A and B are shown apart, each in its own frame.
Chain A
Amino acid sequence: MEVKELQFSLVELNLFLDTHPTDQQALALFEQINQQLQMKVAEYEKRFGPLTVQGQKAGCSYWQWVEGPWPWEMSY
């Protein structure tokens, strides 16, 4: 859930920065949240498997990507 919140903040900042590309406060916040997100994504992928295909665990003997559930099958 934390990953979702941080990623959503980045989506929102992304669109804001598209039309306010020199807003220093938004730029700083983007950088800060982006760093936090990297850490949380790594933790998430360790527990639940890859969020993108690049999340495949090094040395894993099977392809994790095709393991369920898919996002529309989650019960939160």
Chain B
Amino acid sequence: MTPPGTESQTRKIILTGLWRDNPIFKQVLGICSTLAVTNLVLNTVVMCVALVFTVALSSASVSLLRSVTPRNIRMMVETLIIAFYVIIVDILLKAYWPEMSANLGPYVGLIITNCIVMGRCEAFGNSNPPARAFLDGAFSALGYSFILLIIATFREVLGMGTFAGLAVPFFSGPAWDKWIIMVMPPGAFFMLAVVIWVFRSIQIRLEAKTK
């Protein structure tokens, strides 16, 4: 019983989140965590999974409550819902994966302040049905995730010679002088700038072609 036009709408949501309005290289949102957790691939993966979970579910929950929530307190309700899902993630990590919880430190808690989460709830969850809000949240977060993984891969391989803790041939060998700065905070700025530059160039070129 899919109404006509739904398929193209789903496609549009997916494309917008992943590419057209990518949170990192287009909207430049959630940069704090991008800079902080991308020095190791494994930390980044866990952070991204946590973010996909949080954004998708909080946007869907905001959407579910959108007809009863009074307009003037909607931000408070959104913050509460986001905090709820983040605390759930935090408790899960503490109970079942304490090492990862220790690695990520305060950043799990800081997902609450990640602009992407509030941004999707406000911009989309508030005015769309739950299923669509869930989809939009998930794909925005995935758009964030794939850029983060690119950054993390370069940082870990160049800086430590490993990928998700596994030694990479050549880069872990003596021939490669490890770029320690890549795993330090400044390396994140360099990589982020390069990634934004590359992806925006591609995007501009593609848009020029379709015109």
Is this pair of chains taken from one and the same complex? no
Q: B: which residues have CB within 8 A of A?
A: none
